[in-house]
A = this chain, B = another copy of it.
């Protein structure tokens, strides 16, 4: 049985977004994290790229669109509106008359501003496509809040009701039509781009609004992690594979560490011993606290296991590189230190600080985005933590007062037998996945038709293709992005050919 705390922790943990930036939300609370971030999570260690963010921002103009609160209801209350943030960068825009495209980033479960500088795919390819760049914030996140603070809204049984993916897609439709009008861009095709949850939204947007988006690049979108299409343990199996591939001894050390932690914890003063050995900032209250922390490190390392540093290799370097004779717990600690850099102490609650974004995403997972991610006995390098739908429904219902709708996503968007559904329907979607990303277990990994395509890279990580390019990008990554660019180019060419052939 998973405790409520663990469950909710998992919920907010397990959908790490494309751009996992501990530094900005947490830096004021945990300044010690800075080196940790710099080493493992910053988009790029190239100082030019990091410092270029302020330069970029000059071209990004923020707007607000008066958005319909409820697109699917005509009750008087649903006529309320809110101000939705979107950002336009017209620096590269080739102009409406020639039908230059619009590239639209569909925001996910984060404030838009946090992501702006990191959607490299849009700006990096802008000199080639001359697109208008549009970035739209997801309702309820960041500054696009229908009602005050997100945390308060989540507590309100009525107000949080409008916070879901179908409404978000309809928002994007409205904003994009508005932007097209504003820029007289009637003949400009729109390509939508998103990553992770935003990647799901991008692919679904193309499916639901093909008259608005010509095509979609859905990076690391685990659209098959619903309704048991994908085996529960898909996510953790890949985390496990990543570690096993990096080093078999590292994998074995992690695998046996959990029972050793439990064993020490069960001794008299066991938690004190563990606290000392892992240099925790405050004394552990349970072994679970430490295990959750370690699990977070491992899953994040695997999900963002990207060049040039490959965090999994870094962790394993610590574990394997510990002096001969170091015991398992000592190796585990060495792995953490290798990953984060030396710290005065380790804060076990570092990843657990509730913020608006995690509160929002937790609501989304407890209402419609029910992803049954779990693991069984000995089928991964972790201890068992099966996902129990019945229990999940109970806990969400206790917490929010209303039950989740675990079958809604597949009802509205599909997913079962996806190749059978889409091999003769739909077009112009790219599902890109790095196979080292645990979420790729629920991604579309084979072409569904001639133009609903899977682009995979063996060594890629979560959302890697849409990150800004850097001087250290490996060839396979450069090639992947080139393929994506070529395909989008083909969509646009076909579109204009079709359009002009009608006159």
Contact = CB atoms under 8 A, between A and B. Distances in A.
Interface stretch (A13-21, A303-311, A351-359, A494-502): A494-502
B71 A72 contact: yes
Contacts of A420: 495, 498-499, 502
Contact of A422 (B208, B210, B405, B412): B210
A162 B73 contact: yes
Contact of A424 (B170, B405, B498): B498
A191 to B, nearest CB: 14
A113 interface: no
Interface string A185-212: 0000000000000000000000111111
Interface in A65-92: 68, 70-79
A457 interface: no
A402 B410 CA distance: 33
B73 A161 contact: yes
Which of A74, A211, A401, A502 lies at the interface centre, i.e. has the most chain B CB atoms within 10 A of its CB? A74
Contacts of A158: 75-77
A446 to B, nearest CB: 11
A71 B211 CA distance: 23
A79 B494 CA distance: 44
Interface string A407-426: 11011111111111111111
A74 B160 contact: yes
A164 interface: yes
A123 interface: no
A428 B427 contact: no
Contact of A78 (B161, B403, B422): B161
A408 B73 CA distance: 12
A6 interface: no
Contact of A72 (B70, B401, B498): B70
A498 B411 contact: no
B427 A451 contact: no
Contacts of A173: 411-412
A414 to B, nearest CB: 3
Contacts of A68: 405
A280 interface: no
A42 interface: no
A363 to B, nearest CB: 8
A166 interface: yes
A157 interface: yes
8 contacts: A68-B405, A71-B408, A72-B72, A77-B161, A209-B414, A210-B414, A211-B410, A425-B426
Given A70-B72, A70-B73, A211-B422, 18 more contacts: A68-B405, A72-B73, A72-B167, A73-B73, A74-B164, A75-B160, A76-B402, A78-B161, A79-B403, A170-B411, A174-B411, A177-B407, A210-B422, A211-B416, A212-B411, A424-B494, A424-B498, A425-B427
